[in-house]
Structure 1
Amino acid sequence: MVRTVIFDMDGVIVDTEPVHRYAYFRHFEELGIGVTDDEYAQFTGRSTKNVYQHLREKHGLPHEVTDLVMGKREFFNRAFDEKPDLELLDGVRRLIEDLHRHGLELILASSASHSTIDRVMRRFALGQYFTHLLSGEDFPRSKPDPAIFVQAAALASAPPAECVVIEDSANGVTAAKAAGLYCIGYNSIHSPLQDLSHADLVVTHFNELTAARIATLETGKSE
């Protein structure tokens, strides 16, 4: 019996990827560095701090990582606040409310910063449903490192065998499995080029999931 559901945020709850992409590439342009689409796709599921640690080393940037993160965040926050058509992904509010109504615990474990998580929670009034909000900026390594999911499972009221993760990125699924958790891969059109084949279950729309289905998943084995 599953009692805790651990959600990723970007690409699972809300499609902030276009806003992130805009902010990153505006900042890359400002820094005078080139990043290909293939390289950018590998950043999916990684924290901003981790991305800039990589880019600072690769390009020999003289800036401190914290300054690089803040530079990108300024572009992101302005775009996020000005984007009127930013909405929750189709079906995810229904699923969150259904899980909450049936007494399942919800935890957020996102590579996003605390400020981005707070912005999403406030804009869509979702904070009431989650017992814990974990940000990737609090961990030295980001997904596919399993640390954020290990911590989420440690905070859960249920043992790890009764927890499931919902992820949309290859890095996220790898992290969840490395943490020893059952993982549902959400094959979203908003998260292209992601290999979810190592997830225990893959869905293409949240209408495939209900509290009843998730609660009765056999987490000891793949479906």
Structure 2
Amino acid sequence: MKKAYIFDMDGVIYDSEPIHARAKKQVLAEYGIDISAERLATFVGRSSRDFYGTMVEENPACGASWQELAKKKHDLYRKLLTEDRSIQAIPGVRELLERIKAAGYL
């Protein structure tokens, strides 16, 4: 019987939330929407539709759809991931991956 480990990189292998927050704030700022870190934190783990839908509902003058904002954020997030060399694995992840590999899973 084959066994495998499956990991979702985002938030499991590395802490991606600061990059998500940075991208969200930057995209919203392009549309004249300012959001505090505290308010942004209330949306952690919620869908893009929920987050950007709320932002558009509260700021109709921004002139964008939630889908447009979500796509811009996604594109910016991917760009930031490739440029930000400060991203580190969550403590213990490297050791775990080494143990999994030594056990023959990789």
Q: Same fold (TM over 0.5)?
A: yes
Question: How many Å apart are 1:64 and its aligned residue?
Answer: 2.2
Q: Structure 1 residues 81 and 58, CA, compared in 2 at 3 Å: closer, same or farther?
A: same
Aligned match of 2:55: 55
Aligned match of 1:84: 85
Aligned match of 2:46: 46
Q: Distance in 1 between matches of 2:14 and 2:74?
A: 17
Q: Which runs of 5+ in 1 are unaligned?
A: 104-127, 129-223
Correspondence list, 1:9-48, <5 A:
9-48=9-48
Correspondence list, 1:36-185, <5 A:
36-60=36-60, 61-98=62-99, 101=103
Letter in 2 for 1:78: K
Q: Structure 1 residues 20 and 65, CA, compared in 2 at 3 Å: closer, same or farther?
A: same
Q: Structure 1 residues 56 and 77, CA, compared in 2 at 3 Å: closer, same or farther?
A: same
Question: How many Å apart are 1:54 and its aligned residue?
Answer: 1.9
Q: Structure 1 residues 15 and 46, CA, compared in 2 at 3 Å: closer, same or farther?
A: same
Q: Which runs of 5+ in 2 are unaligned?
A: none
Q: Structure 1 residues 51 and 6, CA, compared in 2 at 3 Å: closer, same or farther?
A: farther
Question: How many Å apart are 1:91 and its aligned residue?
Answer: 0.7
Alignment length, in residue pairs? 102
Q: Distance in 2 between matches of 1:89 and 1:28?
A: 28
Deviation string, structure 1 residues 46-103 (Cα, Å, up to 9, x no partner): 2333311221222224322221111112322221111122221111233345457387
More helix by share: 2
For the residue of structure 1 that corresponds to 2:64, the secondary structure is: coil
For the residue of structure 1 that corresponds to 2:12, the secondary structure is: coil
Q: Distance in 1 between matches of 2:74 and 2:16?
A: 13
Letter in 2 for 1:95: L
- % same residue: 30
For the residue of structure 2 that corresponds to 1:10, the secondary structure is: helix
Question: How many Å apart are 1:10 and its aligned residue?
Answer: 3.5
More strand by share: 1
RCO comparison, higher one (Cα < 8 Å, 6+): 2
Q: Distance in 2 between matches of 1:52 and 1:87?
A: 28
Structure 1 vs Structure 2 CA RMSD? 2.8
Q: Distance in 2 between matches of 1:99 and 1:81?
A: 26
